[in-house]
């Protein structure tokens, strides 16, 4: 009888040990630390943290719309080429940790130097961590890049007269182009925005992804305003 009680106690303690081993809490600070470890390893192409912190069945979607499984992801981790260096810093982290699932959302601030020229980019990334068998790993990653306006170029105000006019997309759907003090503006439904020059014939609106350009007819006169979005054009025909 005593032996049976001892055996039952051993089974209970063993089960409790298994539960405790599987239930390993994690904090936002630790998630950020591990995430920063991943980015710090990119310059040297150290694959070890990526093998450790990404699950074998993970999915990884980058800002270019590419999808990777773990094998492809690890293969993509290679040292930066000669003449290139950089850093990525994890910022503005927020987390939701519920049971064996943790979601970490953060900004990644990238600085890159290419043969002495400095480049910067910012991304927003969300990682889903899952605890299995006492081990926390990333099972899903999704990233997008923050939009940044291009550098403002030099406008040729002499060409503005060709651009000024009313353009129509469909019946009742118009926008007008005007100029004031050597600046070009586009207006639709009472909303007026400056067209900033990227080149003398290519324009953008502050904080709006895409470009505005003007099309020429066979006779060389401007006959259309082209709203180029993600390499696809919405064409507004000039009416006057």
Whole-number pLDDT of residue 3: 40
CATH value at residue 189: 2.40.128.50
Q: Is 17 within the bounds of a domain?
A: no
Q: Is 152 within the bounds of a domain?
A: no
Residue 14 to residue 222: CA distance in whole angstroms: 81
Q: Is 119 within the bounds of a domain?
A: yes
- 39 and 105 assigned to the same domain: yes
Q: What is the helix (H) or strand (E) element at residue 8, kind and residue range? A: helix 2-22
pLDDT digits (tens, 9 = 90+) for 55-88: 999 999 999 889 999 999 999 999 999 999 999 9
C-alpha distances (whole Å) from 211 to each of 3, 195, 217 are 81, 9, 19
Range of the domain at 172: 157-238
Q: Is the pLDDT of residue 36 over 90?
A: yes
Q: What is the mean pLDDT of residues 129-139?
A: 97
- 26 and 139 assigned to the same domain: yes
- 120 and 162 assigned to the same domain: no
Contacts of residue 90, Cβ cutoff 8 Å, sequence gap at least 6 = 32, 35, 36, 39, 106, 107, 108
- 166 and 56 assigned to the same domain: no
Q: Are 176 and 167 in contact (CB under 8 A)?
A: yes
Q: Is 180 within the bounds of a domain?
A: yes
What total number of domains does the chain contain?
2
pLDDT digits (tens, 9 = 90+) for 135-151: 999 999 999 999 889 99
CATH value at residue 40: 3.10.450.50
pLDDT digits (tens, 9 = 90+) for 154-174: 999 999 999 999 999 999 999
- 121 and 32 assigned to the same domain: yes
First to last CA, the chain: 102
Whole-number pLDDT of residue 23: 79
Nearest to 42 by CA among 89, 92, 105: 89
- 134 and 214 assigned to the same domain: no
What's the whole-model pTM score?
0.74
């Amino acid at each position: 009888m005593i032996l049976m009680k001892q055996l039952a106690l051993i089974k209970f303690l063993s089960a409790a040990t298994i539960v405790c081993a599987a239930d390993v809490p994690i904090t936002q600070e630790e998630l950020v630390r591990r995430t920063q470890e991943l980015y710090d390893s990119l310059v040297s192409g150290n694959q070890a943290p990526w093998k450790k912190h990404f699950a074998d069945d993970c999915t990884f979607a980058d800002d270019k719309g590419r999808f990777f499984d773990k094998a492809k992801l690890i293969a993509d981790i290679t040292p930066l080429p000669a003449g290139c260096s950089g850093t990525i810093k994890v910022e503005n982290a927020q987390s939701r940790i519920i049971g064996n699932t943790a979601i970490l959302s953060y900004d990644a601030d990238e600085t890159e130097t290419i043969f002495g020229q400095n480049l910067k980019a910012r991304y927003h990334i969300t990682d889903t961590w899952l605890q299995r068998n006492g081990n926390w790993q990333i099972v899903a990653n999704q990233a997008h890049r923050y939009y940044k306006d291009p550098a403002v170029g030099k406008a040729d105000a002499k060409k503005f007269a060709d651009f000024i006019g009313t353009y129509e997309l469909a019946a009742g759907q118009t926008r007008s182009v005007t100029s004031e003090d050597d600046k070009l503006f586009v207006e639709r439904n009472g909303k007026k925005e400056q067209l900033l020059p990227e080149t003398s014939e290519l324009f953008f609106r502050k904080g709006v992804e895409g470009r505005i350009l003007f099309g020429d007819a066979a006779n060389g006169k401007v006959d259309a305003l082209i709203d180029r979005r993600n390499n696809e054009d919405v064409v507004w025909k000039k009416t006057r």
